[in-house]
Amino acid sequence: EVQLVESGGALIQPGGSLRLSCAASGFTVSNNYISWVRQAPGRGLEWVSILSGGGTYYADSVKGRFTISKDNSKNTVYLQMNSLRAEDTAVYYCARNVLPPMFQFDIWGQGTLVTVSS
């Protein structure tokens, strides 16, 4: 079965760091593009970052603080989040992008909750 499973969400203080994991099964992350998308409580969807064939890209709201990476041997994508702020509080989903030219998110994980609060 093709699926993504996130983990690593937690309650963290402002200024702290956290690493989220996204484990893939049924396909290999090395041959696919993977994004992180977040959803603040009661709000809409916000794209955060993508690991693509052309490199890594970030939303302006997280640039310089978040880093996306992957471990092909573990078939897992990570999101390292530093200097966390209250406004980073959200459910974080990882999602697979269909390869270009079509680029929609076809597979989503169940999400992991990150709460930034003192």
Partner 1 sequence: EVVMTQSPATLSVSPGERATLSCRASQSVSSSLAWYQQKPGQAPRLLIYGASTRATGIPARFSGSGSGTEFTLTISSLQSEDFAVYYCQQYNNWPPLTFGGGTKVEIK
Binding site for partner 1 (CB under 8 A): 35, 44-47, 50, 57-60, 93, 95, 97-98, 101-106, 108-111
Cα atoms in the Cβ-side hemisphere of radius 13 Å centred on 112? 19
Residue whose CB is less far from partner 1, 29 or 62: 62
Closest approach, Cβ 112 to partner 1, in A, equals 11
- Of 73 and 102, the one with the shorter C-beta distance to partner 1 is 102
SS3 62: coil
Residue 63 CA: distances (Å) to CA of 1, 58, 83: 33, 6, 11
Do you find a cis peptide bond into 101, omega within 30 degrees of 0? yes
Nearest to partner 1 of 29, 95 (CB atom): 95
Residue type at 113? L
Q: How far is the CB of 1 from partner 1 (least distance, A)?
A: 14
Shortest distance, position 86 Cβ to partner 1, whole Å: 21
